[in-house]
Chains A and B, each alone.
Chain A
Amino acid sequence: MHTAQLPNLRSLTHADIEKELREFEAKERARLGLDSKPVEHWRDTNPQDFVKADRSSTTLLCGGLTRAQDMLIGAALRGVGYRVQPLEVPDNDALRIGKEFGNRGQCNPTYFTVGNLVKHLIHLRDEQGMSTEQIIRSHVFVTAGACGPCRFGTYATEYRKALRDAGFDGFRVLLFQQKGGLKQATGENNGLEFNPKFFFALIKAVMAGDVLNAIGYRIRPYEIEPGSTNRVLEDCKRTLAEALQHRRNIPLALWRCRRLLKSIPVNRLQAKPKVSIIGEFWAMTTEGDGNYKLQQFLESEGAEVDVQVVTAWLLYMLWQGMWDTKQRMTLPQDDEANGGLDGKNPRRKLLTLWSADKAMRGLFGFYARLIGLRHYKLPDMDEIATISHQHYDVALRGGEGHMEVGKLIQSVTHKKAHMVISVKPFGCMPSSGVSDGVQSLITTKYPAAIFSAIETTGDGAANVKSRIQMDLFKAKQVAQVEFEAAKATSRGNAEKHNHALVYPHTHGFAGTAARLVAQP
């Protein structure tokens, strides 16, 4: 502004003065300690750079479901052109590492899964001798993201924090949104393309894993030769994995599995209590220390376990979308916020979600029939919503939402199991902080139901197990009484149907043996 030059005389010009003043001021600032450098504020770099060219040299790490599913997902993604390494099922070491590098106050699934990734990277560094740079350059972690409202949505934050603190700053964590649909933001050159091919591969692997797991849990408790089921299941996994990886005919692979499974000699005429495991999604699904290897423990204690399939979770996601849309469709004005319909076409959305639901159920049913999983009913989401709504508003989200309450009511009213265990991870908000309280009302209403809510803390396994044993004792008695009652109605053709793939669904009975003898 005031840079006017005086005539070109030999005296000081304004420019000289300003220059000198600037220098003077800089010196004075330094002397007075005002010479503060611009501060660099902290930011989360959240590196996402994974380009197509790096695909062949980059390993995708993934995991977090059942052992079978992790393996099949690995194979399926290899089949669509990725290098994949599924992580081990998280164990207590993973929990310890998770606690060490994670924030305080997280839920156990966060610690287990976050710790598991860090544990794997530490293994690569310390035991396989890879440098940190190499690990960061050649690996990415892929996982599902969510928009909350429980901690599930902040896993990514936690992964990055733990990675930073464990010395893997810059490690890439890539998310696909579980509610994001089949096409999600992927640029031209993205190394990881969240496109229909990717998601179909995932879905096929998840469902194949689901049907295999479900049938495994039905056969194993009744196997005559201990270990025979697991041996066959390993063969099945290999068969399915090969088919997925080489993009061969999955139905054919499932059919092959069916033949293998059929050959397992079983004796279903043993009155075993059927125990339904419900609860927080991860904690009821994992097969490791995250739930004290609950499924295995129950089987070893003489129970038949009824697990929830991962497909049911996907259906819950779809149901949420449909319910939310229907609730808002009739509003005279659309809202702009997340759930609002402003700028959206609700009919198209509903149709898409409805088709996805039907397609998933269809595919699951198809896979189930092929492998020999009979009478397996995927949950009726509307029914669960209706029965749970008065206790647990279906608009409340996070974790399994109202499903935990709904499944408990279904189990006790529909005689689906002799005993229900709800697995609540330590620190879980929706499960321990809400549905636990609501479930206590349900159990008061149905005093005959054998129900245990167990909190998985990582330690304290002995306590949890002895509590389960006590309840299981009661459940065994109930199963035995039921079996005796069933025998009274028996038509005597049970022996004939005593095969691995026969799994009758006789109304009014929960136990497999009872159903078998009482079937018409």
Chain B
Amino acid sequence: MPPSTACTSQSIGVYRGLADLETFILHGRAARLGASAGPPLVRDADELAAFAEKYRIPPFKAATFAPGSNVRGYIGLDGGSTSSKAVLIDENGDILCKQYMLSKGNPIADTKELLTLLKNDIAQQGCTLDVLGFGATGYAADVLEESLAADANIVETVAHGMASTRFFDKVDVICDIGGQDIKVLFVTHGQISSFRLSNQCSAGNGMLLQAMAAQFGVSVKDYADVAFGAKLSPKFSYGCAVFLDTDRVTFQKEGFSREELLAGLALVLPKNVWQYVAQVPRMAALGRTFVLQGGTQYNLAAVKAQHDYILERVPDAVIHVHPHPGEAGALGAALEARRVVLQRGKSTFIGLDAAIDLSFTSRNDADTVCHFCPNHCKRTFIDTKAASGRTSRYISGFSCENGTVESKEKLKELAQRRKQLKAKYPNLVDYESKLAFQSFYKPAPLPEAGAPLTREETRRNWLGTAKKVSVTRRMQRSSAEDHAFRQTIRIGIPRVLNLYSTAPLWRVFFETLGIPSANIVFSDATTPEMWSEGGKYGSIDPCFPSKVTQAHIHHLLHHKSREKQLNYLFFPCITHLPTFVSGVMDSTSCPIVAGAPKVIRAAFTKEVDFFARAGVEYVDAAVTLTEPNYLVKQLFEAWGEKLRVTHDECEFAVNQGFEALKRFDAEMQRKGSEVLAQLEDENRPGLLLLGRPYHNDPGLNHGVLDEFQALGYPVLSIRSIPKEPEWLERFFADDLRRGMVDSPLSTSDVWPENYSANSVQKVWAAKLAARHPNLVVLDLSSFKCGHDAPTYGLIDHILSATATPAMNLHDIDANKPGGSILIRVKTYAHTLKLHEEKLKQAAANRSELEQRVAEKRRELLALQREQLAREADIQLMNEAYQAYLEADITVELPDRDFTFDAMGDTQPHSARETALALVNGHRFVIEEQTDLQQIQGGQQITLNPNLLASLNLLEIGLKKTQQTSCSSCTPHSCPTCAH
């Protein structure tokens, strides 16, 4: 049919051959897309070849054995929710064989199957397998620990860390991309110091790549080959998988090819990892050795993308791909089992065959529901029975520890155990949080009216020049009616912010003035319920500790005041706080803390005056706790009329308040000293909380400290650390000697801009932890905290310099952090366990050293005696010695028993000489002079060096001398007299 004229004239629809299309595909398309597209994964074949040569993971070859041999090794198992892996390692830790399977839903069934596979691997070679130990990690680890009596149950992060450091020397960052999740682990001093996880979101994990590849009909094995074929790549925006898929659709429409799309997806993976999951602003700060793990590393395209991304940001990075990327978790578990068994000398594992033959039932019905509280958690019981008759029950699905038991008796036992635990491993943070609001100090009674008050006052002339004069006045008292009136007053105070460190002052201030103790009402500690009920007034969104104050005010108005009417609600604007740190620029509160009462006033009076409605007067005076005299004025202005008190009464009450604060500190330090002494004695670590006072609120710290207490680590607060310079000098002796600081309580060497009271106390506590072998750190900060922000870097520097273990939770907020907090706690607990082992080992080594040195001394002295005997007339010398002994020795023992410090060598900073002493036949190492005087004031020690030679020991003669003091001494400090 001839073409129509219309068509011819418009020349459309004419087939012009493939040439144009080809040209377009070859050049035009690329030119069009290229403008917005990114580079390909590799520039050319050479680059690809070189890269593959370096990074392709060599195929794994299982070990072979001579038939009939007995293979000995440890099994590690990583039980995940979608797949499980197991490895068998030999006694050196090398992998013999490994197995992988998709999970079928029951961890015990999966484990049995994996163990059978491993057993078969060995059996097929005609060999037998002797399992020396078994370790588990992953979500199945707890049930396996219970049912198989696993030797090790370690958290995934630690397992991956161990697998990595097994192959590479100095690892800084481990990036594990599995099918389901992404883990980025940061390593400091060989330990995992922090990590980021993504397990809810699929952005960038292996599954996503696999699913995307499947959409193009590409198997995940061929992913890399296809993606490397791209000459350019579309630029996916990083983030959630949903966005990635939207991008994919758009790019497909724009004309990107399958190769390019897969390349683009591989290239967005590192962005997801580092920017979305890890949120690292500067990768170079993490270090330079990166290890890539996880099954996704078998995909070379993903490795190439990661490799280039890292190198672009850390030009001198060393990047490794783990040789067993998919089994790193299982390998870590096996290595830990090996470590534990070697250390313990035996395995608890029920045995390979017993495990394979284990029978089990899993129940989740009305009988397994927990009825210990109205939550009625639906639990699952997994009961196992081994051929040997050993049974076990594993319970899951509970929301609190009570759910781990099944009967009331067991619950009682549990409570009993908890109580013991509390006593044995005190949580002083918790104690402090309770003590602060208790009535523990009985104020002195107000002086009688007319009683003389003498004090030094400042008088200034008209030029302003000051003169101090002693003034005696008569105490002015308010009337008896006023006093009676005060006994009816009820004052509510929110249990928030710096009230956690100053509550004793306020309580005692009011109590001194005659307000009954029971009428001083604090809101309860923060709970999620309190927050959800009362957190609705605010128009601003600062840190949680500040936001939560509204819920406390609400609680006071709607609960406490309804129970019994409150007259006042007192929420002081505390601008300055007392501090123990010396030489600071100032000692201020955070502006948010100081201003919070004003925000509350605005929020509670904006549309409706909630205070008026509740019949409560709100008092939010600004107070300066670093200036006691000014504080009297401030409080008199705020309360004088309201409470009908005189200025003298107010002043007296303020002084009593400060006295209560002192007692509060003293009590906490007393407890702290006890805990520290115990830790030192037992060579164990204790957790020092670096937090602001209100992080003592269980609703703010979300009970994370309890987790550590349950693991057997006592918890100390900054307040509970003894502050006597004499005690602290043990740790700061070197700093003082070198003039780095002028007081052990100074932070000027690390932070000159030290005006924020609570921040500087945190920094000081970090300094102490860096110097005290038994202290490890938990650093808590609230999300959005402005005063903590400058301390992050400082505390990190201070603690890293001495490799002090530390766990940071810098973003705590209203919600209890979910699953990841548990992993975090377990990860840190592992570090603490190793630290404790180190402490114990060091103590054992020190005592070995002492012994060895003492032995050596004996040896040398024996040798010396022998030499002397050879050279002198031994008979004559012995006679002379005997004569001497009889003439000279007078040992008068002191009237009372005395004890000596621990062995001199265990003192971390003992600069003083030590001497051996033989008293009552016991050997001691004592510190010269000072300690002896403490032991027995007024008794002087005579040391007879010649005796040393014959007795191998230094003998002390204690002679009573007159107690005298020399002219140069100051009380309690003179080493030469007993003054």
Partners in one complex: yes
Q: A149-B756, A156-B753, A335-B626 are in contact. Are A1 and B598 (CB under 8 A)?
A: no
Interface members, chain A 398-451 (any B CB < 8 Å)? 398-399, 427-430, 432-438, 440-441, 444
Task: Return chain A residues, CB-CB under 8 Å to B750.
Answer: 42-44
B458 touches A2 (CB 8 A): no
Q: Are B751 and A157 in contact (CB under 8 A)?
A: yes
CA distance A119 to B594 in the complex (A): 35
Q: How far is the CB of A33 from chain B (nearest CB, A)?
A: 6
- How many chain A residues touch B (CB < 8 A): the figure is 89
Determine which residue in B464, B587, B790 has the highest number of CB atoms from chain A within 10 A of its CB, and name it: B790
Among B596, B627, B913, chain A packs the most CB atoms within 10 A around the CB of B627
User: Considering only CB atoms, which chain B residue lies closest to A328 in the complex?
Assistant: B630
Is A429 a contact partner of B592 (Cβ separation < 8 A)?
A: yes
Once bound together, how far apart are the Cα atoms of A150 and B458, in whole Å?
A: 33
Contact between chains at B573 and A337 (CB < 8 Å): no
**Pairwise interchain contact A332-B928, C-beta atoms closer than 8 A:** no
**Contact (Cβ within 8 A) B540 A21:** no
Whole-angstrom CA separation of A392 from B546 in the bound complex: 16
Tell me, rounded to whole Å, the shortest Cβ–Cβ distance linking B275 to chain A: 12
In A432-473, the 8 Å CB interface with B consists of 432-438, 440-441, 444
Using A10-B871, A147-B585, A335-B629 as known contacts, say yes or no to A32 and B756 having CB atoms under 8 A apart: no
Question: Is there contact, CB below 8 Å, between B864 and A165?
Answer: no
Q: How far is the CB of B792 from chain A (nearest CB, A)?
A: 5
Q: Is the CB of B860 within 8 A of A12?
A: yes
Query: A397 at interface (Cβ–Cβ under 8 A)?
Result: yes
* B857:A17 contact, CB within 8 angstroms: yes
B575 touching A397 by the CB < 8 A rule?
Answer: yes
With known contacts A6-B868, A157-B751, A33–B630 Cβ distance under 8 A: no
With A29-B849, A42-B800, A161-B793 already in contact, the answer to whether A105 and B457 are too (CB < 8 A) is: no
- Of the candidates B538, B606, B798, B945, the one whose C-beta lies within 8 Å of that of A4 is B945
User: Considering the chains assembled together, what is the distance between the CA atoms of A11 and B863 in angstroms?
Assistant: 9
B444 interface residue (CB < 8 Å to A): no
Contact: A148 with B586, CB < 8 Å? yes
Give the residue of A1, A333, A343 whose beta carbon is less than 8 angstroms from that of B629: A333
Q: Is A158 engaged at the interface, CB distance under 8 Å to the other chain?
A: yes
Residues on B with C-beta less than 8 A from A399 are 591
The answer to whether A54 has its CB under 8 Å from any CB of chain B is: no
Shortest Cβ distance from residue A234 to the other chain B in the assembled complex, whole angstroms: 37
CB-CB contacts of A482-514 with B at 8 A, as 1s and 0s? 000000000000000000000000000000000
Q: In the complex where A149-B591, A345-B466, A438-B599 touch, is A11 in contact with B753 (Cβ < 8 A)?
A: no
**Which single member of B598, B752, B791, B864 contacts A438 (CB below 8 Å)?**
B598
Which residues in chain B, 623-642, are within 8 Å of chain A measured between CB atoms?
Answer: 624, 626-630, 633
Q: Which residues of B contact A29 (CB under 8 A)?
A: 849
Verify if B245 is at the interface (C-beta below 8 Å from A). no
Stretch at the interface among A96-104, A189-197, A357-365: A96-104
**What is the distance, in angstroms, from B844's C-beta to the closest C-beta of chain A?**
9
Binds A, one of B75-83, B111-119, B657-665, B781-789: B781-789
Known A-B contacts A337-B576, A436-B540; A395 and B624 likewise in contact (beta carbons under 8 Å): yes
B529 at the interface (CB under 8 A from A): no
Q: Say whether B790 contacts A434, CB under 8 Å.
A: no
Which residues 501-547 in B have Cβ within 8 Å of A in the complex? 538-540, 542-543, 546
Interface residues contributed by chain B, number (CB under 8 Å): 110
Closest A residue to B588 using CB positions: A149
Q: How far is the CA of A249 from the CA of B788 in the complex (A)?
A: 48
Q: Would B540 and A437 count as touching, CB distance under 8 A?
A: yes
| Contact A333 B457, beta carbon cutoff 8 Å | yes
**Residue contact A41 to B630, C-beta cutoff 8 Å:** no
Instruction: Tell me if A334 is interfacial: C-beta within 8 Å of chain B.
Output: yes
Q: C-beta contact mask, B742-755 vs A, less than 8 Å → 1, else 0?
A: 00000001111101
Query: Would you call A105 and B458 a contact (CB within 8 A)?
Result: no
Interface residues of A (CB under 8 A from B): 1-4, 6, 9-12, 14, 17, 20-21, 24-25, 28-29, 32-34, 38-44, 46, 99-101, 103-107, 145, 147-151, 153-154, 156-158, 161, 165, 327-328, 330-335, 337-341, 343, 345-348, 391-393, 395-399, 427-430, 432-438, 440-441, 444
Contact partners of A28 in chain B: CB under 8 A? 849, 852-853
Q: How far is the CB of B529 from chain A (nearest CB, A)?
A: 24
Contact B630 A339 (CB under 8 A): yes
Given contacts A24-B853, A393-B573, A398 and B591 within 8 Å (CB-CB):
yes
Checking B281, B464, B603, B752 against A437 with a beta-carbon cut-off of 8 angstroms, the contacting residue is B603
Residue B347, interface by CB 8 Å = no
Contacting pair A1 B915 (CB below 8 A): yes
A101 to B455 alpha-carbon distance, docked (Å): 54
Residues of chain B within 8 A of A38, CB atoms compared: 734
Distance in angstroms from A341 CB to nearest chain B CB is: 8
- Which of chain B's residues has its CB closest to A46's CB? B752
- The stretch of B153-161, B668-676, B946-954 in contact with A is B946-954
In this complex, what residue of B is CB-closest to A23? B856
With A1-B928, A105-B789, A444-B606 already in contact, the answer to whether A434 and B595 are too (CB < 8 A) is yes
Asked, given contacts A149-B756, A429-B786, whether A2 binds B943 with beta carbons under 8 Å apart, the answer is: yes
Question: Residue B562 at the A interface, CB < 8 A?
Answer: no
Assess the B282–A165 pair: CB atoms within 8 A: yes
A147-B586, A335-B629 given as contacts; is B457 within 8 A of A100 (CB)?
Answer: no
B622 touches A395 (CB 8 A): yes
Known A11-B864, A11-B868, A335-B630; 16 more pairs at CB < 8 Å:
A1-B943, A4-B948, A25-B853, A99-B281, A107-B786, A149-B588, A153-B756, A331-B630, A347-B460, A396-B573, A396-B595, A427-B784, A428-B786, A437-B539, A438-B599, A441-B603
Q: Are B790 and A14 neighbours in the complex by a CB distance under 8 Å?
A: no
Residues of B within 8 A of A391 (CB): 598, 601-602
Least CB distance from A315 to B in Å reads: 20
B587 touches A334 (CB 8 A): no
Q: Please encode chain B, from 783 to 810, with 1 for each CB lying within 8 Å of some chain A CB and 0 for all others.
A: 0111111111110011011100000001
* A-chain residues with CB within 8 Å of residue B466 when the two chains form the complex: 334, 343, 345
Interface residues of B in 561-585 (CB under 8 A from A): 573, 575-576, 585
B946 with A4: CB separation less than 8 A:
yes
CA distance A207 to B716 in the complex (A): 53
Instruction: Report whether B753 and A154 are in contact in the complex, using a CB–CB cutoff of 8 Å.
Output: yes
Task: Name the distance in Å between A89's Cβ and chain B's nearest Cβ.
Answer: 23
Q: Do the beta carbons of A337 and B282 come within 8 Å of each other?
A: no
Q: Does B846 lie at the interface of the complex (its beta carbon under 8 Å from any beta carbon of A)?
A: yes
C-alpha spacing A345/B846, complex, angstroms? 59
B735 proximal to A (CB < 8 A): yes
Question: A393 — which chain B residues lie within 8 A by C-beta?
Answer: 573, 598, 620-622
CB atoms of A395 and B542 under 8 A apart: no
CB-defined contacts of A335 to chain B, threshold 8 Å:
626-630
Bound Cα distance from A12 to B471, whole angstroms: 74
Contact A345 B622 (CB under 8 A): no
Please measure, in the bound complex, the distance between the C-alpha atom of A41 and the C-alpha atom of B756, giving whole angstroms: 23
* Set of chain B residues within 8 Å of A33, measured between Cβ atoms: 842, 845
CA distance A40 to B738 in the complex (A): 12
Contact B457 A149 (CB under 8 A): no
Name which residue of chain A comes closest to B621, CB basis: A393
A434 touches B871 (CB 8 A): no
A345 proximity list for chain B (CB < 8 A)? 460, 463-466
Assess whether B587 is in contact with A150, with CB atoms less than 8 Å apart.
Answer: no
Partner of B792, one of A39, A105, A440, A441: A105
Contact B786 A149 (CB under 8 A): no
Instruction: Specify which of A24, A34, A444 is in contact with B607 (CB 8 Å cutoff).
Output: A444
Contacts of B842 in A (CB 8 A): 33-34
- Given B460, B624, B790, which contacts A158 in the complex, CB threshold below 8 Å? B790
Q: Which residues of B contact A17 (CB under 8 A)?
A: 857, 860-861, 864
Which residue on B lies nearest to A348, using beta carbons?
B464
B848 within 8 Å of A by Cβ? yes
Q: Evaluate whether A105 and B810 lie within 8 angstroms (CB atoms) in the complex, with A34-B849, A157-B794, A393-B573 already known.
A: yes
Contact of A10 among B540, B595, B867 (CB under 8 A): B867
Nearest 6 Cβ contacts at the A-B interface: A347-B464, A434-B595, A11-B867, A398-B591, A335-B627, A437-B599
